[in-house]
Amino acid sequence: MTRPASIHKQWLELSATAQHALRLTVLAVLVAVGWLIVYFTGGTAYAYPYLMLIPVILAAAWYQLAGALVSACAVSLLLAFMPLDVATSELQTPANWLVRLGLYLVLGGVAGVMFQRLHSAKRHSLHASYIDSRSGLPNYLALEEDLSKGLEGNSGQALGLMVVRITDIVDLLETLGADASDELVSAIGQRLGRVVNGRARIYRFNGPELMVLLNSADHEVLAKVAQDVLSAGEENLVIQQMPMRAQLILGYTLSTPGTQNARQLIHEARVAMFEASNQQRSCSAYVPAYRKRTMQAIWLISRVRHGLENNQFELHFQPKISLADNSVCGCEGLIRWRQEDGQLIYPGHFMPKVEKTTLITPVTRFVTEQALTMAAHVPGGVSINVSARNLLDNDFIEMLRALISQEAVPASRLEVEITESALMADIKDGSRSIRAIRDLGVGVSIDDFGTGFSSFQYLRHLPLSGLKLDRVFVMDLESDVHARKLLGCMIDMGHALGLVVTAEGVETRGQHDILVQLGCDQAQGFLYSPALPIGDYERWCDDFMHSDRSALSLAVESGRTL
Ligand code: C2E
Ligand code: CA
Ligand code: CA
| pLDDT over 70 (residue 552) | no
Report the nearest atom of ligand 1 relative to the CA of 355: 44
Least confidently predicted of 163-172, 187-196, 319-328, 497-506: 163-172
DSSP summary character for residue 489: H
Residues 227, 333, single domain; the answer is: no
What pLDDT is recorded for position 507?
A: 97
Q: What is the pLDDT of residue 374?
A: 94
Across 129-244, where does the E strand assignment appear? Answer: 160-166, 200-206, 209-214, 237-239, 242-244
pLDDT at 145 over 70: yes
In ligand 1, the atom with minimum distance to the C-alpha of 504 is 15
| Distance separating alpha carbons of residues 264 and 258, to the nearest angstrom | 10
Ligand 1: residue whose CA is nearest its atom 41: 335
Name the residue of 316, 334, 537 to mutate for ligand 1: max ligand atoms within 8 A of Cβ: 334
pLDDT at 306 over 50: yes
Whether residue 331 lies inside any domain: the answer is: yes
Q: What is the arithmetic mean of pLDDT over 70-90?
A: 87
pTM: 0.63
When pLDDT is averaged across residues 115-124 and rounded to a whole number, the result is: 85
CB atoms inside a 10 Å sphere around CB 478: 14
State the pLDDT at residue 12: 54
Residues 265 and 376 both lie in one domain: no
Is the C-alpha dihedral spanning 432, 437, 438, 440 positive or negative? positive
| Contact partners, residue 111, CB within 8 Å, separation at least 6 | 56, 57, 60, 61, 68
Give how far Cα 95 sits from Cα of 69, 70, 80, 109, 484, Å.
19, 20, 11, 20, 119
pLDDT at 313: 97
Q: According to the model, what pLDDT value does residue 129 have?
A: 84
pLDDT value, residue 15: 67
Domain count, the chain: 3
Q: Which domain holds residue 196?
A: 140-296
| Dist CA 551 CA 118 (whole Å) | 95
- Whether the pLDDT of residue 1 is over 70: the answer is no
Give the whole-angstrom CA distance, residue 449 versus residue 504.
Answer: 10
The answer on 329 and 250 residing in a single domain is no
**Closest ligand to Cα 558:** 1
pLDDT, tens digit (0-9, with 9 covering 90-100), for 169-213: 766 666 677 777 788 888 889 888 888 888 889 999 988 899 999
DSSP H or E stretch at residue 538: helix 534-546
At 187, which helix (H) or strand (E)? helix 178-196
pLDDT at 232: 83
152 and 251 share one domain? yes
Coil, strand or helix: which one is 238?
strand
Ligand 1 atom nearest 367 alpha carbon: 41
Nearest CA to ligand 1 atom 2: 385
- pLDDT at position 174: 67
Q: What is the CATH number of the domain that holds 264?
A: 3.30.70.270
Report the mean per-residue pLDDT for the chain.
88
| Ligand with smallest separation from the Cα of 345 | 1
Is residue 134 a part of any domain in this protein? no
Statement to judge: residues 156 and 101 lie in one domain: no
> How many whole angstroms from 407 Cα to the centroid of ligand 3?
27
> N- to C-terminal Cα distance for the chain?
59
Angle, CA 318 vertex, CA 317 and CA 319 arms, to 5°? 115
Nearest CA to ligand 1 atom 33: 385
Phi-psi region of 177 (alpha: psi -120 to 50; beta: other; left: phi over 0): left
Contact assessment for residue 313 and residue 336, using Cβ atoms and an 8 Å cutoff? yes
Alpha helices in 376-426 (DSSP H): 388-391, 394-407, 420-425
Q: How far apart are CA 517 and CA 507, in angstroms?
A: 16
| Domain edge (last residue) among 100, 128, 156 | 128
- The ligand placed nearest to the CA atom of residue 344 is 1
From the CA of 275, how far away is ligand 3's center (Å)? 27
Residues with C-beta atoms within 5 A of ion ligand 3: 447-448, 504
CA of 449 to the centre of ligand 1 (A): 14
84 C-alpha to center of ligand 3: Å? 105
Ligand 1 atom nearest 560 alpha carbon? 11
* Banded pLDDT at 558 (limits 50, 70, 90): very low
The mean per-residue pLDDT over the stretch 276-284 comes to 87
Gap from CA of 552 to ligand 1 centroid (Å): 23
Do 83 and 203 share a domain, yes or no? Answer: no
Is the pLDDT reported for residue 559 higher than 70? no
User: What are 210-269's pLDDT values in tens digits?
Assistant: 999 998 889 899 999 999 988 887 777 788 777 777 889 999 999 998 888 999 999 999
The answer to the question of residue 562 being in a domain is no
pLDDT at residue 554 tops 60: no
Query: Do 331 and 412 sit in the same domain of this protein?
Result: yes
Ligand 2 centroid–CA 347 distance in Å is: 11
Residue 284: what pLDDT?
A: 94
CA of 347 to the centre of ligand 1 (A): 7
The torsion angle over the Cα atoms of residues 59, 61, 62 and 65, rounded to 10 degrees, is 70
CB 166 within 8 A of CB 208: yes
If you measure from the C-alpha of residue 64 to the centroid of ligand 3, how many angstroms do you get, rounded to a whole number?
77
133 in a structural domain? no
Check residue 267 and give its pLDDT. 92
Average confidence (pLDDT) over 113-123: 87
Starting from the CA of residue 448, give the closest ligand: 3
- Listed residues 86, 102, 128: the one ending a domain: 128
The preferred substitution site among 349, 385, 532 for testing ligand 1, maximizing ligand atoms within 8 Å of CB, is 385
**Ligand 1 atom with the shortest distance to the CA of 386:** 44
d(CA 373, CA 388): 24
Query: Atom 37 in ligand 1: which residue has the minimum CA distance?
Result: 334
The verdict on residue 495 lying in a domain is: yes
Top mean-pLDDT range of 62-71, 79-88, 173-182, 419-428:
62-71
Residue 453 has pLDDT above 90, yes or no: no
* Residue 193 parent element (H or E): helix 178-196
CA 418 to centroid of ligand 2, rounded, Å: 7
Distance CA 554, CA 91 (A): 125
Distance of CA 441 to CAs 367, 399, 444, 460, 497, Å?
Answer: 18, 14, 10, 19, 19
Name the closest-CA residue to atom 42, ligand 1: 385
Q: 520 near 323, Cβ under 8 Å?
A: yes
3-state SS class at 512: helix
- The answer to whether residues 67 and 59 touch, using CB atoms and an 8 Å cutoff, is yes
pLDDT at 295 over 70: yes
C-alpha 111/C-alpha 203 separation (Å) is: 38
User: Helix 509-518 vs helix 481-496: angle between axes, to the nearest 10 degrees?
Assistant: 50
Same domain, 309 and 286: no
- Proximal ligand: closest to the CA of 468: 3
Ligand 1 atom showing the smallest separation from residue 468 Cα: 3
Distance from the CA of 96 to the center of ligand 1, in angstroms? Answer: 100
Residue 334 CA to ligand 1 centre (angstroms) = 6
Does residue 47 have a pLDDT over 80?
no
Going from the Cα of 448 to the center of ligand 3, the distance in angstroms, rounded, reads 4
Q: What is the mean pLDDT of the segment spanning 431-450?
A: 94
Question: Based on the domain organization, do 149 and 55 belong to the same domain?
Answer: no
Closest CA to 489 of 469, 471, 505: 469
Find, among 440, 448, 441, the residue nearest to 524 by Cα: 448
Q: With contact defined as beta carbons under 8 Å apart, do 403 and 433 qualify?
A: no
Q: pLDDT tier at 551 (50, 70, 90 boundaries)?
A: low
Identify the bridge partners of residue 200 per DSSP, sorted by sequence position.
214
Query: Distance (Å, rounded) from C-alpha 147 to C-alpha 214?
Result: 10
Residue 378: the pLDDT is 93
CA distance 488 to 473: 10
Examine the domain organization and report whether 318 and 174 are in the same domain: no
pLDDT computed for residue 13 by the predictor: 56
Please name the residues in contact with 327: beta carbons below 8 A apart, sequence gap of 6 or more: 321, 379, 545, 549
Q: Which residues contact 189 (CB under 8 A, 6 or more apart)?
A: 135, 137, 202, 204, 210
- What was the pLDDT predicted at 379? 93
In terms of domains, do 493 and 379 share one? yes
- Ligand 1 nearest atom to the CA of residue 354, by list position: 44
Task: Choose the final residue of a domain: 296, 314, 332.
Answer: 296
**Within a 10 A sphere around the Cβ of 22, how many other Cβ atoms?**
12
Give the distance (Å) from ligand 1 centre to CA of residue 349.
11
Residue 526 alpha carbon, nearest atom of ligand 1: 18
Is residue 413 within 8 A of residue 434, CB to CB? The reply is: no
253 belongs to a structural domain: yes
Query: Closest Cα partner for 450 from 506, 488, 400?
Result: 488
Answer for the pair 209, 164: CB distance below 8 angstroms, yes or no. Answer: yes
Query: Does residue 491 sit within a domain?
Result: yes
Q: Give 163's strand partners.
A: 211, 251
Residue 454 maps to which CATH number? Answer: 3.20.20.450
Q: Tell me the C-alpha distance between 127 and 505, whole Å.
A: 65
Nearest CA to ligand 1 atom 15: 525
Residues of the chain with pLDDT > 70, as a percent, come to 93
Segment 383-440, tens digit of pLDDT:
999 998 899 888 999 999 999 999 889 999 999 999 988 888 788 889 999 999 999 9
Selected residue with higher pLDDT from 15 and 524 = 524
At residue 560, the pLDDT reads: 35
Kindly list the protein residues whose Cβ atom lies closer than 6 A to any atom of ligand 1.
318, 334-335, 346-348, 351, 367, 385-387, 417, 447-448, 471, 505-507, 524-526, 531
* Ligand 1 nearest atom to the CA of residue 562, by list position: 26
Give domain status of residue 285, yes or no.
Answer: yes
Tell which residue, 236, 242, 273, has the closest CA to residue 172: 242
Instruction: Assess whether 336 and 315 both reside in one domain.
Output: yes
